[in-house]
Amino acid sequence: MKTFNLPGGAGARSVLLAVGLSALLVACGEAETPQGEFVDINRDPFPSSYTPLPSETVVIVNATILDGKGGRIDGGSVLIEGGKIKAVADIITPPDGARVIDGTGRWVTPGIIDVHSHLGVYASPATQSHSDGNEVGDPVTAGVWAEHSLWPQDPGFGRAAAGGITAMQVLPGSANLVGGRSVTIKNVPGRVAQDMKFPDAPYGMKMACGENPKRVYGGGKNNVLGRPATRMGNVHGYRQAWADAQDYQRRWDKYERDYKAGKDVLPPARDLRMDTLAGVLKGDIKVHMHCYRADDIGTMLDVMKEFNYKIASFQHAVESYKVADKLAENGVCSAMWADWYGFKMEAYDGIRENIPFVHKAGACAIVHSDSASGIQRLNQEAAKALSDGIRAGVDISKAEAWQWLSMNPAKSLGIDSVTGTLEAGKNADVVVWSADPFSVYAKADMTFVDGAVVYDRADKSKQRVADFELGQPGEGDVK
Amino acid sequence: MKMIKTLRTGAAIVLMASTALTAAVSAEDIAVTGATAFTMGGKGKVENATLLMSDGKIVSVKSGGSVPKGYRTVDASGKWVTAGFMVAGSTLGMGEVNLSADNNDARASKAKDTIGLDVRYSLNPANNIIKNTRIEGVTRAVTQFMSTKDNWQGTGAVIQLGGDTADKMIVRNKAFISINMDEGAARSNGGSRSVLWAELIKKLDGAKPKPKSKSKSSDDKKSDKASDKKKTKSAGDKMLAALFAGDTSLMVNAHRASDIRQVIDLKNTYGFKVILTGAREGWIVADALAAADIPVLVNPLDNLPSRFDMLASTSANAARLNAAGVTVAFLPPDTLNARLVVQSAGNAVAMGMPWEAAVDALTVNAAKIFGVSKSYGTLASGMDGDVVVWNGDPLEVMTNADNVFIQGEEIPLVSRQTKLRDRYKEIPRAPAFKK
């Protein structure tokens, strides 16, 4: 076991403290055996190697702007400089040398953030060898990380950029009770997954309620125990995992206490599953929980309280409208489709007003895709949900509805201090739409990540061709 | 719908392209007034239209026309009116929950005769997906099997989504025989395209009507006596005979350009009617498809190289096929989302398909492809009263259907989903008591 210290991180501080303490004790002659090196777990062994692409100073003028917080400016301007949003205002005088983009007839919004994607882990083409999203065999695989499956050459990333997607959370699948760590990435080309990793974004952990785990394991097809086979078996599985993680953390805490007290102690055995689960209990890792039924959601809200962790979001959540008040009370986001429903029993009660009803209850509503196709049109998904909400008497503006696509997703992923809205100082993750993005005919004209153009509908050189697509029929075609 | 046995000259039977005798005699007389009516089929639009329906049929569509006595008026001022839309592929009426429920009849995994399967026995007018679909302005559908043990997928029907019995739903049964000839089909049926195609050709050659032979060779006599005279023909054999007689079509699922070229060859060789479905790389062979008069069913959203036979997928497919003169109709993302075919059509427009062509693809093209254009597909006098009033451009994602008529009857805009919506609009303490 080796120690890798994160410069300036919590680990580094505790090491310094521990070393200083032991030196002091040794100096006082009170320690009988010299201590071994303090073992601290590196929390970031696969650090982001993302660097922003080249960008220029850009002013988009005379556009309809949705700021992502619920505000709207008609005929306004956005200034992008040094990869950041410099200003959002009615009128901005373009600085010398700035590229001026005529926004007449166009709309400008924050980039869309999809909190539920499997791009890269279930890449196109969907060959068996690209099926890298579910580590089936053990219901709790908290030790697997989606980034280790993520193939940056998935052509789906480029398609998503053409749909205005600037960031996304890539998750393991839902076969397991605990599927493993997710990764939040910027939608930029890269050679290795780390090139796409969103710097400083907290990790997420995927969990799954309901039918999928019990279908995968019940009957013994995928493990000898045939467990879990029921919903109550699922809940036993989560709770036992949390109880184990508490125990694991207590051992590490004791190790640290003992070490600081000058004892020559061995660290507990490292368990990669427990590292992740304990990370959740410490608040470093956010739980994103695939959960359809209202009663499953209700159960998990109590499991969350029992073990004192935080569920950042329920994913899919087709019955969130039945418990929207509880979601609001508990401050848990709900990531939903506009209108998918019915493909299994736990999706049977999906309604088209789910998103606006959750919004109306004051809970954090998110439009997500879970689809390599759907991710390309999340603006249309929001439009459908908005329209159905308005028809059901929920008064929501387009500007408010855009929160479902950028600000609320950013909050649930813990990246809202740097992206998700058009505010001075934030990353310039921006989309220029050809028209009102609540129209089926609107296209993303340009997508910016950190001020750099990652898609331009009018410029072939800014339309991605994945390595896989080179030399294939349709290479470089309009997609 | 009936299957009527007719002349048996070495071949077999003929399917009557029957229209169902369904329009309820009691259907109201209805006038839809004030809207812009898109009559479809290259006929343009009628402003401030008065659309009259009587006895389940459209009587007339006239600008500023008067409303005769006894007609109920539906004021559609400022709104848009089209024919009800049609999805060109689904399993509507054949099941609801794909996973973890036992109510799906679209997977006929144990069928022995995989060619002759008839959807009629599986159709359930009370199916909830039908209601969810029709209240969004989709009034017609092709319904068919999803899978069997091999690559033949039975026959399919055109249904209307307002009928209260299977027979009323069916507008034209056995409108096609479905066969899968894509890469997946090759893998699971012989392992290779070379097996898949050889088996198909063998089957078709065996079913091909024999020319009346002047010199009776001993071989012919044998086969005549052995198989033709004595045995009752299977449903599948009857369907293949109908195919050769021109009374039904062969719907072939294929994607790769080279596979599609073989489908074109198939049509040229045998001369029967062929419908191509899937067709991810159809745009590459668009001119040849047009020349061979093969209509194509596509999902306009497909633009990923999802498989190696789909590498050139692009959402410009529909626009390009249409531009080349191919008759195009649309597949929905799936059956539960059959209603989203309208959004898909809007996206086809965003990718360059003319709006009118996209609406034709949702109506008159589908009607022609599946042989129901005499009664459905345009807003013309004598057509079935499948009429939808929209509160805006129907292809727009924020537009809704305000009134839906199927064969002249107004459909209540109610579904299990709308009931759940109404129940939970204000979250109840005791939902089961809230009616």
Concatenated DSSP letters of B127-162: -HHHHHHHTTTEEEEEE--SEESSSEEEEEEEEETT
Q: What is the DSSP letter of B211?
A: P
Tokens of residue A366, six digits = 């998110």
Chain B CA closest to residue A321: B424
B279 CA to centre of own chain? 16
B303 contact residues in A (CB cutoff 8 A): 159, 373, 376, 479
Q: Which whole number is the average pLDDT over A221-247?
A: 96
- In degrees and rounded to multiples of 5, residue A291 shows phi and psi of -155, 125
Q: What share of chain A is helix, strand, coil (3-state, %, to 5)?
A: 30, 20, 45
pLDDT tens track for A301-343: 999 999 999 999 999 999 999 999 999 999 999 999 999 999 9
Please provide the distance, in angstroms rounded to a whole number, between the alpha carbons at the two ends of chain B: 39
What proportion of chain A, given as a percentage, has pLDDT over 70?
93
pLDDT of amino acid B52: 98
What's the gap in Å between the CA of A376 and the closest CA on chain B?
A: 10
Strand B3-4 and strand B14-15: the pairing is antiparallel
Distance of alpha carbon B357 from alpha carbon B391, whole angstroms: 21
CB contact under 8 A, B336 and A376: no
Give me the residue label for tokens 């009018």. Answer: A458
Residue B36 has pLDDT above 70, yes or no: yes
Q: Which whole number is the average pLDDT over A138-145?
A: 98
Give a yes or no: residue B412 inside a domain: no
A328 touches chain B (CB under 8 A): no
pLDDT of amino acid B219: 52
C-alpha dihedral sign at B216, B221, B227, B230 = positive
Chain B CA closest to residue A376: B301
Confidence bin at A473 (pLDDT 50/70/90)? very high
Give a yes or no: residue B27 inside a domain: no
Q: Chain A interface, mutation test: which of B92, B94, B100, most A Cβ atoms within 10 Å?
A: B100
Instruction: Identify the weakest region by mean pLDDT among A330-334, B307-311, B430-434.
Output: B430-434
pLDDT tens track for A242-270: 999 999 999 999 999 999 999 999 999 99
- In degrees and rounded to multiples of 5, residue B293 shows phi and psi of 55, 45
**Cβ-contact A122, A93 below 8 angstroms:** no
pLDDT of amino acid A3: 39
Task: Decide: residue B217, CB within 10 A, 0-12 exposed, 13-18 middle, 19+ buried.
Answer: exposed
Q: Which whole number is the average pLDDT over A44-62?
A: 98
Please provide the distance, in angstroms rounded to a whole number, between the alpha carbons at the two ends of chain A: 49
Give the domain CATH number at B340. 3.20.20.140
Identity at B260, one-letter amino acid code: I
Give me the residue label for tokens 């209805």. Answer: B30
In B240-374, the DSSP E strands lie at 249-254, 273-278, 296-298, 328-330
Which of B339, B346, B400 is opposite residue A387, by nearest beta carbon? B400
Strand B138-143 and strand A165-170: the pairing is unpaired
**Cβ-contact A396, A356 below 8 angstroms:** yes
Instruction: Identify the weakest region by mean pLDDT among A31-45, A184-198, A209-223, B374-388.
Output: A31-45
ipTM of the complex: 0.92
Distance of alpha carbon A368 from alpha carbon A28, whole angstroms: 60
B128 contact residues in A (CB cutoff 8 A): 342
Distance of alpha carbon B302 from alpha carbon B310, whole angstroms: 9
**Cβ-contact B390, B342 below 8 angstroms:** no
Which of B308, B310, B397 is opposite residue A440, by nearest beta carbon? B397
Give me the residue label for tokens 């848009």. Answer: B80
What's the gap in Å between the CA of A342 and the closest CA on chain B?
A: 6
pLDDT of amino acid B16: 37
Helix (H), strand (E) at residue A379 = helix A378-391
**Cβ-contact B140, B92 below 8 angstroms:** no
Cα→Cα distances A212→A291, A345, B304, Å: 10, 11, 26
Q: What is the DSSP letter of B224?
A: I
Domain range spanning residue B175?
A: 86-371
Tokens of residue B409, six digits = 């009857």
pLDDT of amino acid A8: 39
CB contact under 8 A, B337 and A340: yes
Query: Which one is predicted more confidently, B1 or B263?
Result: B263
CB contact under 8 A, B398 and A383: yes
pLDDT of amino acid B23: 42
A443 touches chain B (CB under 8 A): yes
Q: What is the DSSP letter of A47?
A: -
Q: How many CA atoms lie within 13 A of A45 on its CB side?
A: 12
For A91-114, letters b (16+ CB in 10 Å) and e give ebebeeebeebebeebbbbbbbbb
pLDDT tens track for B407-418: 999 999 999 999
- In degrees and rounded to multiples of 5, residue B47 shows phi and psi of -80, 150
Q: With helix as H, strand as E and coil as C, how does A84-99 read?
A: EEEEEECCCCCCCCCE
Task: Decide: residue A295, CB within 10 A, 0-12 exposed, 13-18 middle, 19+ buried.
Answer: middle
Q: Which whole number is the average pLDDT over B13-36?
A: 64
Confidence bin at B8 (pLDDT 50/70/90)? very low
pLDDT tens track for B79-108: 999 999 999 999 999 999 988 778 899 999
Rounded-to-10 torsion of CA B368, B372, B374, B377: -70
Instruction: Identify the weakest region by mean pLDDT among A23-27, B266-270, B306-310.
Output: A23-27
CB contact under 8 A, B347 and A156: no
Q: How many CA atoms lie within 13 A of B149 on its CB side?
A: 6
Q: What is the DSSP letter of A268?
A: P
What's the gap in Å between the CA of B320 and the closest CA on chain A?
A: 12
Give a yes or no: residue B24 inside a domain: no
pLDDT tens track for A419-429: 999 999 999 99
Confidence bin at B215 (pLDDT 50/70/90)? low
B257 contact residues in A (CB cutoff 8 A): 473
> Across all residues in chain B, what is the average pLDDT?
91
In A423-469, the DSSP E strands lie at 430-433, 444-449, 452-456
Three-class SS state of B381:
coil
**Distant-in-sequence, close-in-space partners of B260: CB < 8 Å, separation ≥ 6:** B254, B276, B279, B281, B282, B284, B285, B289
Query: How many helices (DSSP H) and strands (DSSP E) are in chain A?
Result: 12, 16
**Cβ-contact A244, A23 below 8 angstroms:** no
Q: Which whole number is the average pLDDT over A46-74?
A: 98
Concatenated DSSP letters of B295-332: -EEE-TT--S--STT-TT--TTHHHHHHHTT--EEE--
A337 closest CA partner among B247, B207, B364, B340: B340
Q: Which whole number is the average pLDDT over B132-145?
A: 98
Residue B24 has pLDDT above 50, yes or no: no
Instruction: Identify the weakest region by mean pLDDT among A14-18, A202-206, A266-270, B428-432.
Output: A14-18
Which of B307, B314, B431 is opposite residue A478, by nearest beta carbon? B314
Distance of alpha carbon B379 from alpha carbon B41, whole angstroms: 9
Domain count within chain B: 1
B182 touches chain A (CB under 8 A): no
pLDDT of amino acid B103: 86
Q: Chain B interface, mutation test: which of A351, A391, A433, most B Cβ atoms within 10 Å?
A: A351
Three-class SS state of A115:
strand
- In degrees and rounded to multiples of 5, residue A410 shows phi and psi of -60, -40
CATH of segment(s) A111-419: 3.20.20.140
pLDDT of amino acid A204: 98
Q: Which whole number is the average pLDDT over A285-311?
A: 98
Distance of alpha carbon A299 from alpha carbon A209, whole angstroms: 10
Taken as a whole, chain A contains a residue count of 479
Which of A348, A377, A391 is opposite residue B97, by nearest beta carbon? A348
For A456-465, letters b (16+ CB in 10 Å) and e give bbeeeeebbb
**Cβ-contact A412, A102 below 8 angstroms:** no
**Cβ-contact A112, A166 below 8 angstroms:** yes
**Which residues of B, range 332-351, sit inside 8 Å of A by Cβ?**
333-334, 336-337, 339-340, 343, 346-347, 349-351
B85 closest CA partner among B371, B294, B358, B416: B358
A215 touches chain B (CB under 8 A): yes
Q: Alpha helix (H) ranges present in A261-312? A: 272-281, 294-306
pLDDT of amino acid A180: 98
Which of A155, A352, A438 is opposite residue B304, by nearest beta carbon? A155
**Cβ-contact A119, A372 below 8 angstroms:** yes
pLDDT of amino acid A33: 77
Concatenated DSSP letters of B9-31: SSS--EE--PPPS-S-TTPPPEE
Residue A276 has pLDDT above 60, yes or no: yes
**Cβ-contact B127, B119 below 8 angstroms:** no
Residue B369 has pLDDT above 60, yes or no: yes
Q: Which whole number is the average pLDDT over B68-74?
A: 97
Spell out the domain ranges in chain A. Answer: 1-45, 111-419
Cα→Cα distances B380→A11, B315, B376, B427, Å: 76, 32, 9, 46
Identity at A266, one-letter amino acid code: L
A112 closest CA partner among A36, A66, A164, A148: A164
pLDDT tens track for B152-185: 999 999 999 998 999 999 999 999 999 999 999 9
Give a yes or no: residue B187 inside a domain: yes
Tokens of residue B369, six digits = 């492809």
